[in-house]
Amino acid sequence: MKTLNMSDWRRVFQEQMQVAKPNDVWSLKMDQQLDFNHLGPGWVQVLQEHAHARFTCSQCYHSWSSHRVVILFHMYWERYERRGWAWMRVFRQQCHECSSEKHEEPQFTETDVASAIHRLILDIRDNCYGEYVDRSELSEVVWDTEHDGHIHQECEACQMGLHRKQRGKPENAVHHGRPQGAMQYGNPQPPACVVCAAFIVRILTAQLPAFLDEANCLDPFLSGFKPCCENETALIIYAGRRTEGI
C-alpha cells in the first residue's frame, strides 16, 4: 500500500481545484501547529472528523485502521486577487497494543486523500465563494468504535476535546455529512458577504427560486432576504443555526 506525503496532497488538491475553480489560484500547506478556533482575520475553519487512514506503531509495529481520523482546515480567500490558501493539520493516534505514548502519524492512500480533498473543496465553495453545496451524498457513517480501530483515549483529537463525541454538540466548526452547527470566522467585523451575527447562506441568483421553494417550510427561521452587491449573489439570512435540508 502506497502512503502519500504532503506533495501528493498538494497534487490531488491542485487537480481537483483545477476542475472546481480553473480561473483561481489556491495553495495547500501542512501546519501541525494549527490551533482549533485560533483564526486570523478573514479565515474560516472546518473540521473533518471521519477521514480514513492507517497507523503503524513505531515501537511494536502493530498496525490499525481508523475511520475517525480528524483533519483541521483553515481557509482564506482573497477575492480581488483570485487567490486562496488552505492550511491543514492531521491529528494522530497512539497504539493500544503496547506501552508507547508516542502519537503516530496517519498513513493515507490515494483514495483517502481524494475523499478528504473533495470535502475540503466543497467547504471552499460553500464558505469562500458562497455557493450552495449539496452535501447529502456525503452523509457520514458513524462507525462502531469497537470495530474501526478507534479508541478515544488514544486519539490526539479526542484528548484535545475536538472530536464531536468528546465535546458534545459542535458549535464552532462545520461537521461533514448533513450540515450541523455554525461556521467559525476569524474576523470580528466581517464584510456584508460573510457571516456576522446571524447565520447567512449564500447561493447564486440562478439557484434562488428552487432554494426558496425548499425553504418555505422553514419560515420560523427566515429573518430576511436581500440581494448582495457582489457577484450577483443572493443572501438568505437565518436567525438560528443551519437546519436539516439547507
Give Cβ neighbours of residue 47 (< 8 Å, ≥ 6 apart): 36, 70, 71, 72, 73, 162, 170, 173, 174, 175
* pLDDT one-digit tens code per residue, 89-106: 999 999 989 878 899 999
**173 and 55 inside one domain:** yes
Q: At what angle do helices 6-20 and 110-127 cross, to 10 degrees?
A: 50
| Confidence at 119, pLDDT banded by 50, 70, 90 | very high
Considering the domain boundaries, does residue 190 fall inside one?
A: no
One domain, residues 169 and 82:
yes
Please check whether residues 23 and 141 belong to one and the same domain.
yes
- Grid cell, residue 197, equals 451575527
Please indicate, yes or no, whether residues 168 and 203 belong to a single structural domain of this protein: no
Q: Residue 194 domain-assigned? A: no
Sign of the CA dihedral running 128, 129, 130, 134: negative
Is 193 within a domain? no
**One domain, residues 218 and 152:** no
Q: Is 245 domain-assigned?
A: no
Q: What is the span of the domain harbouring residue 92? A: 6-185
Within this chain, do residues 155 and 215 fall inside the same structural domain, yes or no? no
Q: Are residues 141 and 217 in the same domain?
A: no
The answer to whether residues 101 and 219 belong to one domain is: no
The count of domains in the chain is: 2
| DSSP structural state of residue 77 | E
Q: Are 85 and 26 in contact (CB under 8 A)?
A: yes
Same domain flag for 142 and 92:
yes
> Would residue 55 count as lying in a domain?
yes
Enter the C-alpha cell of residue 124. Answer: 471552499
Go through 182-217 and write b for each residue having 16 or more CB atoms within 10 A of its CB, e for each that does not. bbbbbeeeeeebbbeeebbbbbeeeebeeeeeebee
93 touches 54 (CB < 8 A): no
Band the pLDDT of 111: cuts 50, 70, 90: very high
Give, in order, the Cα–Cα distances in Å from 220 to each of 227, 238, 239, 240, 241.
20, 9, 9, 9, 12
Range of lowest pLDDT (83-97, 139-153, 163-177): 163-177
Q: What are the strands, taking DSSP E only, across the chain?
A: 25-30, 44-56, 63-78, 83-90, 93-94, 103-104, 184-185, 199-204, 222-227, 233-238
On whether both 148 and 174 belong to a single domain, the answer is: yes
pLDDT in tens, 24-69: 999 999 999 999 988 989 999 999 999 999 999 999 999 999 999 9
Q: pTM for the complete prediction?
A: 0.65
In this structure, the answer to whether residues 112 and 65 fall within a common structural domain is yes
Whether residues 225 and 180 share a domain: the answer is no
